[in-house]
Amino acid sequence: MIVYLRLLGESFSFAMNALRNNKLRTFLSLLGVTIGIFSIIAVLTAVNSLNSKIMKDLSTLDKNTIFLTSQSFGPTDIPEWKREQFPKVNYEEYQYLKDNLNHVENSCFQFFTGRESLKYDSKNVDDVNIVAVTFEFSDIQRLEIEEGRFFNESESNSGAAVVVLGYEVTKGLFGEVDPIGKMVRLYGRRFKVIGVTKKQGMSMGLGDSNDTSAFISSNFLRKLYGENSDKMLPVILIKPERGTDIAGLKGEISQKFRNLRGIRSEEIDNFFINILSGFTDMLDSLFANLNMGGWAISGFSLLVGGFGIANIMFVSVKERTNLIGIQKSLGAKNKFILFQFLFESVILSLFGGLIGLLLVWVIAAVLTNALGFEFILSVGNIILGISVSAGIGLISGILPAISASQLDPVEAIRTGI
């Protein structure tokens, strides 16, 4: 065992000396691996960070949350002209489903509507995402309140002019002033601020960040515009009980909604049952394809880097043929020569990989500070980068190392003279 450790140590020492004595060649050799590892890990880091952020944002909603509306959230075979004729869901239909569906934990009625401006005294905040919902929304989305509260059932049913503001909207309107109880203007009306949400950060999930949103009662908009306004798309959100058969619940919703609307058996549904899990599955597929694309593109860089290392190692063998002959004539075994060149190849590749990882870490830190979006170089990606680097070095160096180890000592010495 001690003999093998000494063998490894001496091989490592020879490899390091060879790398130090040929700095330019070393730099050019590891450049290809550096670019390849940087490309792969940068793509994986960006995709993983984006995926993590989106899934974190979507974690406030149950994956099985159902969105019942007149529009499809994904691809559909129904032509657009026909979809445009579908009647919008309404508040009475929401109440009917709320009273008659089984295995439902909660449901709420929401309007998807345009952005608006909010005003407080002389301050304005523009482009605010208006979330018009019934009171159950805070439980369905597990909305976190920093100050105050969400509006209650009575305020929701009556369409009271109360508003819960997002973190950034609050800072823009009030600065360090306590917003609770203050009056803001929205839709030309005065709204009382009753709550502020916790800071969420940039949203990459379904919809806007809570930070740039304002939450009001959907019944306020019903009174203001009615239910068939082109400015709004009504949606019924349904959160199933834990462990519910989603396919069965979807069938129950479809049957009861068809009966409620009097749709005949030969007619298609004039509504869409969109399930959030379908959206997340689509995202998983998208991210998988992005990762594959990153591997495919970066693979060319690694291939070039691998050929570069192999070429340099063959040159190194050629240059040191005389030295190899002397080593073998003094008793160095084939294993020693093999390990010597393999170590040199692997170390060269590892240096390139580590520089690539360092570049990814630096750029991720800079972008995180500049964009406010957290790019995370995970331990898994670091291990992957190091493993791929070592693998490239091993594969690239194996043939030169074998050719060096099989040299005849007499011929090697004679060649070098």
- What is the per-residue pLDDT across 345-385, written as a single tens digit (0 to 9) for each? 888 788 888 888 898 888 888 887 877 667 778 888 888 88
How many CB atoms sit inside 10 A of residue 368's CB?
Answer: 14
> Torsion angle of alpha carbons 94, 99, 103, 105, nearest 10°?
70
pLDDT at 204: 46
The answer, yes or no, to whether residue 319 has pLDDT greater than 80, is: no
Range scoring the smallest mean pLDDT among 104-108, 183-187, 346-350: 346-350
DSSP state of 210: G
For residues 387-409, average pLDDT? 81
Burial of 242 (0-12, 13-18, 19+ CB in 10 A): exposed
CA distance between the termini of the chain:
36
Question: In a 3-state reduction of DSSP, which class is residue 29?
Answer: helix
Q: For 8-58, what is each residue's pLDDT tens digit?
A: 566 566 656 666 776 776 677 677 778 878 877 887 787 777 767 666 655
Give, for 348, the enclosing helix (H) or strand (E).
helix 334-371
Question: What pLDDT does 56 receive?
Answer: 63
- SS3 assignment, position 189: strand
Q: Is the dihedral of CA 293, 295, 298, 299 positive or negative?
A: negative
Nearest to 88 by CA among 286, 228, 254: 228
Average pLDDT in the 98-107 region? 88
Contact in structure between 15 and 347 (CB atoms under 8 Å): yes
CB 280 within 8 A of CB 58: yes
